[in-house]
Structure 1
């Protein structure tokens, strides 16, 4: 057993390890001569008042204490093992494949997009030429949406599985051990591709396979059991177990399942805008004017308020970040945000979104599982039209939006395709725009200086989560009607980010292993 000690220190004291250890030993009343090892286990910022403090959890091992080593991926040769199909090479799919190898199963991964290296060329075309490849973009391709949209690893999903193990696997494949310490761990878009490549290579070295440019176009089902699948409208494969980890933007999969009368359900989601401030403004607000402290990282924020019966909240806040074009079709626009590992860009951006339930929508009927998806699509298409039918997005200064005035000009934006002035009160649906307007006023009171003419809204932020859930048995994790089909991750409605998706991938493989008594 180890001893855990909580400390509150100044940011400049974080690098003074001798001071930290001495303070922790004093607080725990431990004799320094008995210390075998120690580490900072958790680290977070307390900016509730001035001066800003660092909150630490220090773990100390005395002589005779047992210290567990980090979890590592345990590879084995599965070349001749029973096979399972995994649709999608995002975090859910990759973690499912790695866990399958540990369990003695051979994973065959089918990914509609390209590998991380080839994928970059398609991202460049979106940014520079405003051409969207529907199979290779910020959402589709090796590593999924997380690879090129920030790599935040924070999750509240403590009950869904072993979060620490999932983080430790990332360290095993090359991530910095800081992700095990920070309260809000983050890898960064610039570092993730190397990790994703290492994961794929481990899958292939163990005898598994990862196929790119391989889009699921049909599921072969007989007597309510999975028999196989079809890829790219031509090649058929036999599989008895299929993990469906296609992500929240694979709309063709939802339409495919619906056409085959496979049960789907509309689910709550959120929709709004992505707002951008100068990072120094957020630093000034959050650090109470303490902006010249080199030991403080770029500041983040988290906001939430109830407006007219709906929650409005910040989503995927990116300090020192960039706004990215995340459309998956040419006739829509979608925004998201990401940060490099150092978070050293001059802008801070965040989604500000309104919670929407199926019942909130004007054309809601209980028997239509696609109602939220279609609403989401309509907003993205309307914004595409308002932006000039390119990947430019309609935009508005925050104060102009609140006052109902079209912006005459803009400060510089990080969104590469560019922005077009529009009154978002008229572009966005009333149920979204009216609540956003009230929320910004409320947020300006919570964070004086947040409601600013220099902050710019980019519309829409619409892919916060899947607008559809694919129901599954809580014990077997199979679809409630189709044996052998495992709805998994964000696209199925069982995750809300990289870590929860990864954990769900592990859970689905564990269910298959249990089925086969492996």
Structure 2
């Protein structure tokens, strides 16, 4: 059993296990890549000759900007008088071409990681994806950004890799109790992600790198006997005597299986309609609604790092803000340092915005969803009608489209103007490519959301210097924070209470909130399949 032995000097803690010691160190940004410096610092604290340290491994890394000088906090294992043993994650899957099948609807993180776990369990995954391969999605996204034309089956939400592929690849999660977070990260590394994601406190891949990783996962699934059907939309779920038997596609084709994992993401509204038509249980679920707020990245850097100019050795600064306003939560969400605001509508006549960052996070803007909790009691008939919050969400998105003027031009307002109720005479240059139109966001947002944001933003400004400024722009609307509908499932079997063999999964069913948590839920649903 490893023992933690406190070192008296510097309050450092060390783990002693045979000839390994773990230290928590503070490293200046300019020295974080200098392994010799870290080794020497560790040797001095351990009071041993540097030559006795045969290797080191950084386990965790985060930025501490609470003091005047930002530093990296790192947890490092030092190997004393022994060589480090490299960690290898074998990807040795058997071929499952002749094994029993399971259908997986959706090729987002929940679906892809469910498929990988199926390979481990000797189950043949058959993925049904309404959208296109990850590379082919780029052309539809280009049309979306330049011309404001939405392909309802291929956009930022639908297609191989799901919503996360072209909206950032942030891997931060609080889902440790739901499953093996490290296993998800290791699988991403095995498919091409850098091993930085294994140690960073807020791991991030980047939209420019994720498509290659998704493609590698696809090859693993196909090379081991799995199937993936693109451009194939599920229009019905086939059941007999309360047990799932397969799915029907828009082409008329039936695919049969005794197990169906439903991993469709938070925007597949047509799946909810299937449940409604068949009188299967669905229920409303609270979600959050608001705007995307963008600042010049320099403002955020100055506030968080207490400097005029950010050091080249520090990444663009991140923030997380939360406030209670009249008993209602207002919080930042999906913050993108060095990022871009993206149009994420899935159908014509609606505005939905989200944010993403490339791997280097080197754009001049920082954006974050800033949203207000929407509860069942906020929407009439939500307790009795399961789609009340879904309809409410859609109405706000349609109003945003009308107020913006069409072609995905988004209604927008400067921050101080928004709080003081003024129409902005001009809008700052920003990253939203389809364009922004100066408007009163009170014409778009429900009154309780608008009022909560107006009260919260000056309070955020008191917490973070420079945040409350008219250099910041509010772009509407951030509405797809999570699904406003939950498909219920049994806590033990993870199956729908009415339909055996049907596993509601991931964000679309209301059981995840990001890439990692969705991936974990996908693996859990695959684990729940019994032969």
Q: Give the alignment's TM-score, normalised by structure 1.
A: 0.97
**Aligned match for 1:471, one of 488, 503, 514:** 488
Describe the SS at the equivalent of 1:247. coil
Q: Deviations over 1:235-256 (max 9, x none)?
A: 1121110000000010111111
**Aligned match for 1:159, one of 166, 174, 177:** 177
Is 1:8 aligned to 2:34, yes or no? no
Rounded Cα–Cα distance in structure 1 between residues aligned with 2:52 and 2:61 = 25
**Aligned match for 1:483, one of 485, 496, 500:** 500
Deviates more, 1:291-300 or 1:245-254: 291-300
Rounded Cα–Cα distance in structure 1 between residues aligned with 2:308 and 2:77 = 30
Rounded Cα–Cα distance in structure 1 between residues aligned with 2:85 and 2:284 = 46
Deviates more, 1:256-265 or 1:180-189: 256-265
Rounded Cα–Cα distance in structure 2 between residues aligned with 1:367 and 1:233 = 35
- Report if the CA contact (8 A) 2:108-2:161 is conserved: yes
Partner of 1:194: 212
1:269-418 map, 5 Å: 269-361=287-379, 363-418=380-435
Deviates more, 1:180-189 or 1:227-236: 227-236
Per-residue deviation, 1:61: 3.1
**Aligned match for 2:229, one of 193, 197, 211:** 211
Describe the SS at the equivalent of 1:262. coil
Unaligned stretches of 5+ residues in structure 2: 1-16
Partner of 1:253: 271
Partner of 1:130: 148
Is 1:41 aligned to 2:59, yes or no? yes
**Aligned match for 2:241, one of 223, 226, 229:** 223
Rounded Cα–Cα distance in structure 2 between residues aligned with 1:75 and 1:30 = 44
Q: Deviations over 1:243-302 (max 9, x none)?
A: 000000101111111211111111111010001111111111111124241111111110
Describe the SS at the equivalent of 1:428. coil
- Report if the CA contact (8 A) 2:170-2:204 is conserved: yes
Unaligned stretches of 5+ residues in structure 1: none
Is 1:502 aligned to 2:516, yes or no? no
Q: Deviations over 1:174-205 (max 9, x none)?
A: 11111111110111000000110011011111
**Aligned match for 1:61, one of 52, 60, 79:** 79
**Aligned match for 1:121, one of 128, 139, 152:** 139
Partner of 1:436: 453
Cα pair distance change 1:311/1:72, threshold 3 Å: farther
Rounded Cα–Cα distance in structure 2 between residues aligned with 1:165 and 1:30 = 35
Per-residue deviation, 1:62: 3.7
Per-residue deviation, 1:30: 5.6
Q: Give the alignment's TM-score, normalised by structure 2.
A: 0.94
Is 1:85 aligned to 2:103, yes or no? yes
Describe the SS at the equivalent of 1:313. strand
Rounded Cα–Cα distance in structure 2 between residues aligned with 1:370 and 1:467 = 8
CA RMSD of aligned residues (A): 1.4
Deviates more, 1:183-192 or 1:46-55: 46-55
Describe the SS at the equivalent of 2:499. coil
- Report if the CA contact (8 A) 1:43-1:57 is conserved: yes
Per-residue deviation, 1:70: 3.6
- Report if the CA contact (8 A) 1:72-1:168 is conserved: no
Partner of 1:109: 127
Describe the SS at the equivalent of 1:281. helix
Describe the SS at the equivalent of 1:93. helix
Partner of 2:68: 50
Per-residue deviation, 1:72: 3.6
